[in-house]
Chain A
């Protein structure tokens, strides 16, 4: 599964949250969002959400690096590399160069 795929679970959550918060649910049980626009909107914001989460993950990984970034010691190299891998993915998502 691609990391920004709008799965059925995500769509269902958006629709059910809409319905759960009232606003005169549609008689067929669906919410107020127009479904195809909702999916397109979610698809557009998903990379932003994903990138934000990945940046937090990279920060979490870097928080275990003992030395300041300019003086990364050997023991910290794998953590620095790992944070870089996660950050690069966030960059791709933010730039719209999503290679899945």
Chain B
């Protein structure tokens, strides 16, 4: 999608006299990635998403979708990814490197909460509660104790996995909890 025509807002037909590769007007030197190394978007916890792969997917998607928005992309850029001018590819890769971590972070937050909810619902399940109640009512029945431990072990294992996801986000667990609390507070407000 090396669609560098200086237009934002309503789609409109591309004019023939528009410069083919506006990137040459750039006041900024766009860094060209080293093709021998994968370009990755970094979250605080580690390398997550190949920015170059995202840029390529975005380019192909943009070119495919543009006609349905009554928009004609530039001839110079309406080509396979490998043939897109190098500076344009570098620009799109740089944009993807900034955007991809935001999208990835949303997915990881969602996965974190899915795991936490799984653990909570397991603890809240009738079968789990009954085992705990029977153990508490018994005289330290060893067999029942094992059942409680195994169930609790399971829930804690799921919570440990949620913490792994939080680590990938590079965010402390209590900060994620805080975000949810803030969202709920804002929802009430």
Residues of chain A within 8 A (CB-CB) of B26 are 21-24
Residues of chain B within 8 A (CB-CB) of A3 are 106-107, 109-111
A67 in the interface, Cβ–Cβ < 8 Å?
no
Interfacial residues of chain A within 54-70, with CB under 8 A of chain B in the complex: 54, 56-57, 60-61, 64
Main secondary structure of the interface of B (DSSP, over half): helix
The A-B contact count (CB < 8 A) is 203
B42 in the interface, Cβ–Cβ < 8 Å?
no
CA distance A85 to B161 in the complex (A): 11
- A14 and B108 contact, Cβ closer than 8 Å, known pairs A37-B71, A41-B65, A82-B162: no
- A23 and B161 contact, Cβ closer than 8 Å, known pairs A18-B91, A44-B61: no
CA distance A56 to B105 in the complex (A): 12
Residues of chain B within 8 A (CB-CB) of A53 are 48-49, 103-105, 107-108, 168
Find out whether the CB atom of A60 lies under 8 angstroms from the CB atom of B69. Answer: no
- A1 and B161 contact, Cβ closer than 8 Å, known pairs A21-B30, A45-B61: no
Q: How many residues does chain B have at the interface if contact means C-beta atoms less than 8 Å apart?
A: 65
B95 in the interface, Cβ–Cβ < 8 Å?
yes
Chain A nearest CB, measured from B155 CB (Å) = 8
**What are 14 A-B residue pairs whose CB atoms fall within 8 Å in the complex?**
A3-B106, A14-B98, A15-B8, A18-B91, A24-B27, A36-B10, A45-B54, A49-B103, A51-B107, A53-B49, A56-B48, A57-B111, A81-B154, A86-B115
Known: A9-B102, A49-B103, A75-B157. 10 other contacts (CB 8 A): A4-B106, A7-B106, A23-B4, A38-B62, A49-B49, A49-B104, A52-B50, A76-B157, A78-B154, A85-B118
Interface residues of A (CB under 8 A from B): 1-7, 9-10, 13-15, 17-18, 20-24, 26, 28, 30-38, 40-42, 44-46, 48-54, 56-57, 60-61, 64, 74-79, 81-83, 85-86, 89, 93
